[in-house]
Structure 1
Amino acid sequence: MQPEPSDAHEIACRLPRRDSTVPRARALLSAVLGSWSIDQEVLDTAELVLSELVTNALRARAPRDRQVGVRIAYTAEDGLLRLEVSDAGEGRPEVRNPGDDEAGGRGLLLVDALVHQWGVQERVGAIGKTVWAELKASGITAVPVERDVAAVTLQPGNLVKLRGVWRTVRSARGERSPSGGFVMVLGLDDGSVLRVDAAEPLTVRGSGQPRQCDAAGGGER
């Protein structure tokens, strides 16, 4: 696989096979594309597409403990926003033409109508498949020196502003809260540990883009 060009923005997450994964994926997408200054119309379309892809992944027959992978990437060179959803389920999704009396089966019809192109590929070195879709997107606005991002996108090395003081993130991991939500546990350069809601906006400094998050609080599945 060829390395991605330097003008690529991307983030990848692993999410649990739960009903709450669809709204979590949408919230993550909104936070990430907002920080990349993607056009609102593209964001709205991308949310619909990602919701359908994640829903299909959750419906695929797979062990309950297998996670769903989500990757969001934008490359300025070709102006395409790419959404990928991976699962360990059997079979390959196909576009259906349900009858008027059928309640479901229209998800991929919607995806096919909204995106520039989409497809399915086998997961390299793992079981299951990856369904991907690409949308045409306008250019990303230059990243400011300081910007607000969702806590879930933070990674070690980021400079984050907390109570008016800049701190370096030394470690970042996600875990479920007792209420069933998702929080980030951030280890900071002064030795302290901060627990913050995954969707909480935090001010970061620098142009580096978060690369990966583990929103399932566990290892690769």
Structure 2
Amino acid sequence: MAEHSSANELTFRLPRSRRSVSRARALLHAVLGEWGAAQDVVDSAELVLSELVTNALRVPVPRGRQMGVRITRSVGEGLLRLAVSDAGGGRPELREPGADETGGRGLLLVDALAHRWGCEERAAGMGKTVFAELKAPDIVAAPAVREVAAVLVVPGQRVRVWGEWRTVLGVRSEPCPTGGTMAVLDLGDGPALRVHATESLAVRAGECAG
């Protein structure tokens, strides 16, 4: 899963698997915690994103395609935007399922919880992006964040990995099996992060140890 984050945005790609629904929720929960969103906004956003990801999973797409998820905020407007992209055709349609139908209510939930929602053609490539915007007046500005190549990260900084900020305890390099150099970041609790030396990582500015 490739992940990119900045002060007001988190984007990542997910495989077409049911487990991706819970993964998307976990990442959303983490970033909304940082952004200071109220609990009712968090609850609504998790439900909406779950439905958007679930609907994307149902769309037939070419083999090997993943889903793209983008979470952004506008502090000035007090809005949270959730967007899920897939490589499939068609457009989601709001409908009233029959009393004996077990599915088809996802978009009704999105429509009820979102300030507005819609569907756009992807700017590049095939497929579409379905988005929903929620009112989130409590979201706050993030601390200064900058993007640096993994090889430039130093111990004492905090990097955003696996949906949360982690303190870097040590950095080393090792050869990449496919060529080039890997940066290995020791994050203390849990496995080390291994990424290509040139891959960009979000680093919190001003939290360097020296």
TM-score normalised according to structure 2 size: 0.71
Secondary structure, in 3 states, of the residue corresponding to 1:140?
A: coil
Q: In structure 2, list runs of 5 or more residues that go unmatched.
A: 1-5, 174-182, 192-202
Where does residue 74 of structure 2 map in the other structure?
A: 75
User: How many pairs does the alignment contain?
Assistant: 175
Per-residue CA shift, 1:75-95, capped at 9, x if unaligned?
112111000000001211101
CA distance in 2, matches of 1:15, 1:195: 25
Give the corresponding residue for 1:52.
51
The structure having more radius of gyration, on CA atoms, is 2
In the alignment, does 2:167 pair up with 1:139? no
Distance in 1 of aligned mates of 2:26 and 2:55: 18
Relative distance call for 1:120 and 1:207 in structure 2 (3 A) is farther
TM-score (norm 1): 0.67
Identity of aligned residues (%): 56
Partner in structure 2 of residue 218 of structure 1: none
1:166 maps to 156
Aligned-partner residue type, residue 52 of structure 2: L
Higher relative contact order (CA 8 A, sep 6+): 1
Aligned to 2:184: 193
Shift >2 Å, 4+ stretches: 139-145, 154-161, 188-192, 194-198, 204-208
Alignment of 1:58-69 (within 5 A): 58-69=57-68
Aligned mates of 1:8, 1:136 — CA distance in 2: 19
AA aligned to 1:83 is L
Quickly say closer, same or farther: Cα 1:43–1:168, change in 2 above 3 A. closer
Q: How far apart, CA to CA, are the structure 1 residues paired with 2:114 and 2:80? A: 10
Deviation sequence 1:33-77 (CA, Å, 0-9, x none): 111111111011000000000000011011241010000000112
**Contact 1:143 1:207 survives alignment (8 Å):** no
Instruction: State the alpha-carbon separation in 2 of the partners of residues 99 and 34 from structure 1.
Output: 38
Measure the CA separation in 2 of the matches of 1:137 and 1:65. 35
Corresponding residue for residue 122 of structure 1? 121
Query: What CA distance in whole angstroms lies between the structure 2 residues aligned with 1:168 and 1:23?
Result: 25
Q: Determine the C-alpha separation between the residues in 2 that align with 1:88 and 1:144.
A: 34
> Could you tell me whether the CA contact under 8 Å between 2:7 and 2:143 is conserved in 1?
no
Give the 3-state SS of the residue equivalent to 1:166 in structure 2.
coil
Q: For the aligned residues, what is the CA RMSD?
A: 3.6
**1:116/1:133 contact within 8 Å kept:** yes
